[in-house]
Amino acid sequence: MSAKKLIAANWKMNGSRALVETVSQQLATLNSEVDVLICPPATLLAFFTPSEHFSLGAQDISEHIDGAYTGELSGALINEAGASFVLAGHSERRQYHGESDQLICAKIKQAIDAGLTPVLCIGETLAERQQENTEQVIAKQLAAVYASHPELLVKSVIAYEPVWAIGTGESATPEQAQATHAFIRRELAKYDSAAAAKVRILYGGSVNAANCQALFTQADIDGALVGGASLKPAEFMQICQSAKD
């Protein structure tokens, strides 16, 4: 597990220039005991002023380097926009855009080739959890990237997002989350044990100011991927503060 936690904000298709300004001002008061990542819509990246208090990320990346791919963003374009991270495999991309594990692997490779840090999102649906297939699903998602490319792990961040908990207000219990995070680390150790011990594994699934502290006390939870609560500056700051306590 990482000594310093990473709190990543996924604004999804939300946000405004006013929110950029408010969040930037508040994060300027945060010390360096926690790493913060903001992933706004791509159109808002340019409105952030580079800061030592937080990093920027994109919410998706093309599997292509360049070319006639309308609406796509390459790693080079994301980098030039000021981002140093990118989400890959978010459950909403998997669900609404039909992204396969193979496509997500290609996106991870493109991100790393462009000098970006990919945040690989993995997790099970409610049906898969009820069928007790959580570990099989996660193992398959991890293997699709790292079984053939173990060298990518050391340059990655992992985000476990139980799909049944995203935007529902229902979070996994700290014990449930820890058990799954520990399983993820054991799976990753099959590909690179040294990298698996250090890789940051974030929890994402209705994280808020009320439940984050208990999650952050767990041994294998190295931070959070925050959705709705990241759009509320005061609450997001509380989450960041909890991560450094």
Residues taking part in catalysis: 90, 161
What is the C-alpha to C-alpha distance for residues 118 and 77, in angstroms, rounded to an integer? 15
- Mutual angle of helices 233-244 and 17-27, in 10-degree steps: 30
The CA–CA distances, whole Å, from 65 to 36, 57, 68, 106, 128 equal 28, 18, 10, 11, 34
Residue 158 phi/psi, 5° resolution? -110, 140
What is the C-alpha to C-alpha distance for residues 197 and 193, in angstroms, rounded to an integer? 6
Q: Which residues contact 149 (CB under 8 A, 6 or more apart)?
A: 105, 108, 109
What is the C-alpha to C-alpha distance for residues 93 and 85, in angstroms, rounded to an integer? 17
Q: Do 195 and 173 form a contact (C-beta atoms < 8 A)?
A: no
Nearest to 108 by CA among 85, 124, 138, 92: 85
Q: Which residues contact 183 (CB under 8 A, 6 or more apart)?
A: 135, 138
- 3-class SS at 203? strand
